[in-house]
Every structure is written in structure tokens, then in C-alpha cells.
Amino acid sequence: MRIDISKVFDNENYLIAKLVQSDHHAFEYIFNMYYPRICIYALQFTTENAQAEDIAKEAFIRIWKAKTVFKSIEHLKNTLYQSARQIATNYQVANQRSINRELIYQMNQEQHEEHAMHNIIYTEVMSELYNAIQKLPEQAKNVIISTYLEGKSNQEVAQEMSLSLQTVKNYKLRGIKQLRQLLSSEIYILLIATNFFLEKN
């Protein structure tokens, strides 16, 4: 038998119980797990990376201070998304008063008329993709990033990494296979509660 002591918070009931007690270790666990994702979400409301991070931080501070009794992690996560959106909207109002008003207004029109739920789906998809890529073994990860994300050819990647063309192909195939496993629906669950945002829109 093996016990992972750092997984003490992986038990949802325990995590929720600790959050109710305002246990800051439990909250740190939540922060580590969801901060990057809330940043991605916030980035859809702003053009500045730093501002996206500020929005995400504020969202976490807000839910900590509100001392909401969360029923589930899903509930907590949705509250995070909701807070981030409200904070982002406030930022936007402030932004629109600035000189970039015209530009930002246009972007908002184009990008953010979409359904609020779409921004969450986008965030979840992108975050899961990132997490899955991060879990790949080093070489396979580099090949996948270069070929898929950066659009390089196998030949180019082979030269850059000083590998044979065949080795690159092998890494790529293995990487894709592993990605499929990592992203397979059995182990991957999108924690989106449908009802929360639906009420609002």
C-alpha cells in the first residue's frame, strides 16, 4: 500500500470541510489547482497578461473573504469563474474610460458577445490541453509543442533537437497516443456545473 501524504486534500469532502473552517492550506491547494485556469479565463476580458493575473488574484481574495460555504468543488469553481467575470467587467469599465476606449470596445464586441459559458468551455479546454501536454515526457513534449503549436515540420524539429527524422516521428506518435490517454474521458472530468451560468443569461 502506498499513501501520498500531499493528497490529503484530494478527498473532496475533506477539502470542503477544511475550507469551511477557513483552513489556509486547503485554500492554497485550491489556489495552486485553479489559479492558472482563472488567469486564462480573465485573459478573455483583457489584453494585458498582468491584468488577467490581477483579476484572477482578486477573484481568489474575494471568495476567501466571502467565507461562502461551498457545497462542492464544482460550486467553488463556478463561484471563482463568476467572481472573475464580475471583476473583469469592472476593469473593463475602467479601461473604457482610458485612451484605448475605441479599440477595446471593438474587441469586446467581436470577442465577448459570445455566450458566457463559451468562455468557460474555452478556458477548460485550453487548461486541460496544457495540463496534458505538461504531463508528457520531456522529449515527446518538446516535439508536440514544436510541431503542433509552433507549426514546424518534422524535419525542422529533427534538426533543432539533433535527432533523426524517425526519432522525431516516434516521439510525435508516442506523444499523441499519450495525450489521447491523458485526455480520455475516463480520467478527465470537466467540472462545469451547467445551472450556475445559465440562470444569469
Partner 1 sequence: MYQNQHEPQEIGQLLLKKINGNLSLEDEQVLKQWLSADPRNQALYARCIDPLQQKQVYAFLNKIDTSKAWLEIQTDLEITPTKIHKSNRYIWRYSVAAACALLIGSIFLWTKHNNTLNNTETITKLDYKPASNKAIIKLSNGESFTLDNNQDLVEVNSKSITYSDGKTITSTDDITSAEINTPRSGYYKIILPDGTQAQLNAESSLSYPLTFHGHTREVWITGEVYFDVKKNEKQPFVVHTQRQEIQVLGTSFNVNAYDEKNSIKTSLIKGIVKVANKSNKASSSKILYPNQQSILSTGKILVKEIDPKVEIAWINGKFNFDGKHLKEVMLEISRWYDIDVFISNDVPNIEFFGGTFRNNNLSTILSLLEQNNISYTISKDKKLYIKMKN
Rounded (5°) CA angle 24-18-39: 55
CB of 100 to partner 1, least distance (A): 20
Cell representation of residue 56: 484572477
**Alpha carbons 42 and 186: distance in angstroms, whole number:** 28
Return the residue of 73, 107, 126, 161 that touches partner 1, per CB under 8 A.
126
Contact between residue 42 and residue 55 where contact means Cβ atoms under 8 Å apart? yes
Q: How many Å apart are CA 140 and CA 163, to the nearest integer?
A: 12
From CA 133, how far away is CA 145, in angstroms rounded?
8
Contact range with partner 1 by CB under 8 A, out of 28-36, 77-85, 88-96, 160-168: 28-36
Cell numbers for 92: 473593463
Q: Give the residue, chosen from 99, 102, 113, 162, that forms a contact with partner 1 under the rule CB under 8 A.
A: 113
Residue 127 as a binder of partner 1 (CB under 8 A): the answer is yes
Residues near partner 1 (CB under 8 A) are 1-8, 11, 14, 18, 24-25, 27-28, 31-32, 35-36, 39-40, 43, 49, 52-53, 56-57, 60-61, 64-65, 113-115, 117-118, 120-122, 124-130, 133, 145, 148-151, 176, 179-180, 183, 185, 188-190, 192, 194, 197-198, 201
